[in-house]
Amino acid sequence: MNLKKSAKTKSGKTATQPIRKTPRVSRKLNRPHRPGSSQRSDLPELKKLSRSALLALIADLQKTVHTQDHLLSQAEALGNLGTWEYDPSTDSLTYSRSLAELIGFPSDPQPFPMSALDSVIGPGAATRVRDDLSEVLKAAQHRVSQSTCELASRNSQTHRTAYVPLLDESGVAVRLLGVTQDITQSKAIDQELRRVSHRILTLRNEEQRRMARELHETASQTLAALKLTLGKATRALLPVEGEAAQCIASALGLVDDALREVRSVSALLHPPMLEEVGFAAALHAYARTVSDRSGIRIATHIPESLIQMSAEVEIALFRVVQESLTNIHRHAHANSCLIHIAQVGEIVTLKVEDDGIGIPNLNGNGSSHFPAGIGISGMRERITQLDGTFRISSVPRKGTTVHVQLPVRLRETAAIC
């Protein structure tokens, strides 16, 4: 209310109009008059009021506006955000006190010329803001964008800004309202969370690999030695007959079972051969084993020239193949299946496709309403932890496809763990 400026009316005449610091109020002032609105029909009532009653009404209104301005400022400060309004006819901004404090705009005088924006948020961010403004004006559509800027007053800050165009009767954007929020802190927390989650994933993989190796080097070797010893004892006691023969045969059988169990637990803990023979060979070998065991034809399409992927990414892809093949074996009633891997630039994609019965009750985009089970949610979690995307598509009686997309290497946040 403390600033005045000349503005053109629709008829082209110049009128003096108050400018408020918050767009919410000025929006009301600038809202085009709609035919049939009650604004004008209230005027005859006002004319009947005495001068003192009118003055009291104005004072009352001013008080209300002041209180609302104050509440809005408090809410903005609490939300770490500020509001603004852009006027294309003067290429200038008016903004709330919170925005001035948040970003370092001068609190007065307003409106602030856009040509001086570089000096407040730096030339790079200023160009991005100008581009956003002109695109929102042109498209006359709401937009949200995020950008990091080097503030003249402080260090770098990351903002999320919502742009809302105000349209005239013909749908042309005549002004823009905006809300800019400082998300520097929440972005830093996000990054920290991602770093910790990568760290947990790495530690889990390392721990599982260590346990797999230990199982192989201790329990497996001991059981193998026990089997040899039992064999030797049997030969030394020959001829073994009756109950003794039965006991030895059953002991040998138990040792075989234990060896198999230890090997499968060890393989579950860490994909076998991944380090020894490499990702592609390990995947081919695994697919062959499942095919022999299940009778399902499994084709593998893995490019020969795969660029080196981080260990976490290779393990994650291997795990998805393992779980998908297990699901196909257990649920799909499929005859054949294809494992397809491709790399485009720094992105690797994996598809595991079967020709089985499909997943019942799968919704359109294949992203939810799965029957209960931890296999699918485990795959999804593993992939999203590595910044990838996971999706399942399925057609009844035609089959199911698991789709994965992953950055080939972990981002810097993980690398510094």
Ligand X SMILES: Nc1ncnc2c1ncn2[C@@H]1O[C@H](COP(=O)(O)OP(=O)(O)O)[C@@H](O)[C@H]1O
Nearest-CB residue for Mg ion: 375
DSSP 8-state code for residue 32: P
Binding residues for ligand X, rule: CB under 6 A, are: 327-328, 330-332, 354, 356-359, 370-371, 373-376, 400
Determine the Cα–Cα distance for residues 405 and 252; give it in Å rounded to an integer.
Answer: 46
CB of 263: closest distance to ligand X in angstroms? 22
Residue 332 binds which entry of ligand X, Mg ion, none, CB below 5-8 Å type-dependent: ligand X
CB of 371: closest distance to Mg ion in angstroms? 10
Cβ proximity to ligand X: between 272 and 356 the closer is: 356
Tell me the residue length of the chain.
417
- C-alpha to C-alpha distances, 189 to 134, 154, 184, 196, 264, nearest whole angstrom: 32, 20, 9, 10, 39
CB of 123: closest distance to ligand X in angstroms? 51
CB of 233: closest distance to ligand X in angstroms? 42
Cβ proximity to ligand X: between 30 and 327 the closer is: 327
Q: Looking at residues 209 to 268 of the shown chain, list those that interact with Mg ion (rule: CB under 5 A).
A: none
Determine the Cα–Cα distance for residues 88 and 273; give it in Å rounded to an integer.
Answer: 64
Residue 400 binds which entry of Mg ion, ligand X, none, CB below 5-8 Å type-dependent: ligand X
Cβ proximity to ligand X: between 102 and 352 the closer is: 352
Q: Looking at residues 364 to 403 of the shown chain, list those that interact with Mg ion (rule: CB under 5 A).
A: 375
CB of 319: closest distance to ligand X in angstroms? 12
Q: Are 417 and 195 in contact (CB under 8 A)?
A: yes
Q: Are 354 and 332 in contact (CB under 8 A)?
A: yes
The Cβ-side half-sphere exposure at 38, using a 13 Å CA radius, reads: 3
Q: Looking at residues 302 to 361 of the shown chain, list those that interact with Mg ion (rule: CB under 5 A).
A: 327
CB of 296: closest distance to ligand X in angstroms? 11
Cβ proximity to ligand X: between 157 and 327 the closer is: 327
Determine the Cα–Cα distance for residues 167 and 147; give it in Å rounded to an integer.
Answer: 26
Q: Are 210 and 199 in contact (CB under 8 A)?
A: no
Residue 165 binds which entry of Mg ion, ligand X, none, CB below 5-8 Å type-dependent: none
Name the maximum alpha-carbon separation found in the chain. 127
Q: Which of 277, 286, 278 is nearest to 319 (CA)?
A: 286
Binding site for Mg ion (CB under 5 A): 327, 375
